[in-house]
Amino acid sequence: MKKINIGIIGGTGYTGVELLRLLAAHPAANVLCITSRSEDGRAVSDLYPSLRGFYDLAYQAPTPTLFDECDVVFAATPNGVAMKYAEALYEKGIKLIDFSADFRINEVATWSKWYGMEHACPHLLEKAVYGLPEFNREQLREATLVANPGCYPTAVQLGYMPLLRNDLIETDSLIADCKSGVSGAGKKAAIGSLFTEVSESVKAYAASGHRHQPEIRQGLQEMTTEPLNLVFVPHLMPMIRGIHATLYARLKRNDVDLQTLFEQAYQDEPFVDVMPAGSHPDTRSVRGTNMCRIAVYHLKESNQALVLSVEDNVVKGAAGQAIQNMNIMMGIDETSGLNLPALVP
């Protein structure tokens, strides 16, 4: 298999180190460079001893020509960073997969409203492909710029997609009740992420409006022609990794076999596992993997569809999905470097 030369913008945070962990086992990955202004000159293995023996790389301050030999660049950076690199990489034909929200929202005014800054290259928004392979696989094959989906949006969209595509639910009253591990907040120091604040406690946050909501609504709206309304409430859980999305929707009719529907919808998807009827998937079952596990229930008395969707927020919700996208873009086996069992216990 031909080697893929890879550059990484950022790479000091949780999604960055997860990307490096997964790429270390990828048969085609050849990581040429990784950037960080704050860690310039420091060996990657000094910052993350878990990578000792796998990488002989040091962080570098970014330069205009640093990525010229790369086939693919991953941007594992906060919002507002990747868009500053995107135009130069795009003009050189270097593929960019952005972990942040810089290219996820189609309308620039909506993006600026939720992310509090002006977009550096709004003309590239229409060039970006939203990197949910189960929905956009064919577009990804030809993509140069990919917006890697957020962790919550991935779990929610995969849970609702078979229902929306088959016009089975009322779209005016969708409810997504979601839980996330603390790593979803990133590596920055914050009181709300301290062990003593998170341990033995569960709390909702951003209930009046979370930044992932417009991304989720936009993605779901592309799956249906009907106007869509969504209530999305995220919760912080006392765990490091994981997303658990409990999704509710009113069915239009009561005679549908939801189990068969979901099994058929995802039968050819390598990273969506529809569980047997009556299952309750847990986040531990996907820890460290690129798998999204789904269970579906038909609550016949209330004529409701109930979907349970779990994933690892830093793998299928970030680094793993980014590698899945890279594999598709580069025309290699989509599962390369990603066929891993969960980390249990």
Angle at 153 between CA 241 and CA 77, to 5 degrees: 65
Taking a C-beta distance cutoff of 8 angstroms, is the pair 102, 79 a contact? Answer: yes
CATH 3.40.50.720 matches 4-127? yes
> Which H/E stretch holds residue 327?
helix 320-329
CA dihedral (185, 271, 277, 250) positive or negative: positive
Report pLDDT for 208. 93
Catalytic residue among 70, 151, 178, 292: 151
Taking a C-beta distance cutoff of 8 angstroms, is the pair 198, 179 a contact? Answer: no
CA dihedral (305, 306, 307, 313) positive or negative: positive
Report pLDDT for 190. 83
Which pLDDT band, with edges at 50, 70 and 90, does 89 fall under? Answer: very high
> Which H/E stretch holds residue 328?
helix 320-329
Query: Strand, helix or coil at 171?
Result: coil
Angle at 108 between CA 321 and CA 135, to 5 degrees: 30
Q: Domain residues of the chain, as ranges?
A: 4-127, 152-313
Spatial distance between the Cα atoms of 229 and 62, rounded to a whole number of angstroms:
42
pLDDT tens per residue across span 148-186: 999 999 999 999 999 999 999 999 999 999 999 999 888
Which pLDDT band, with edges at 50, 70 and 90, does 189 fall under? Answer: confident
Spatial distance between the Cα atoms of 145 and 327, rounded to a whole number of angstroms:
14
CA dihedral (16, 142, 137, 145) positive or negative: positive
Place of tokens 């594999």: 327
Neighbours of 316 (CB within 10 A): 27
- In eight-state DSSP terms, residue 299 is E
Phi, psi torsion values for 184, nearest 5 degrees: -65, -20
Report pLDDT for 186. 82
Q: Which of 225, 104, 220 is nearest to 162 (CA)?
A: 220
Report pLDDT for 188. 76
Non-local (6+) Cβ contacts of 83 within 8 A are: 98, 102, 103, 119, 120, 121, 124
Taking a C-beta distance cutoff of 8 angstroms, is the pair 17, 39 a contact? Answer: no
H helices then E strands: how many in the chain? 10, 13
Neighbours of 263 (CB within 10 A): 17
Does 151 qualify as catalytic in the annotation?
yes
Per-residue pLDDT averaged across 78-103, rounded? 97
Per-residue pLDDT averaged across 54-74, rounded? 96
Name which CATH class applies to 152-313: alpha beta
Per-residue pLDDT averaged across 235-254, rounded? 96
Place of tokens 């796998």: 54
Report pLDDT for 32. 98
For residue 98, which amino acid is it?
D
Per-residue pLDDT averaged across 130-141, rounded? 98
Taking a C-beta distance cutoff of 8 angstroms, is the pair 195, 326 a contact? Answer: no
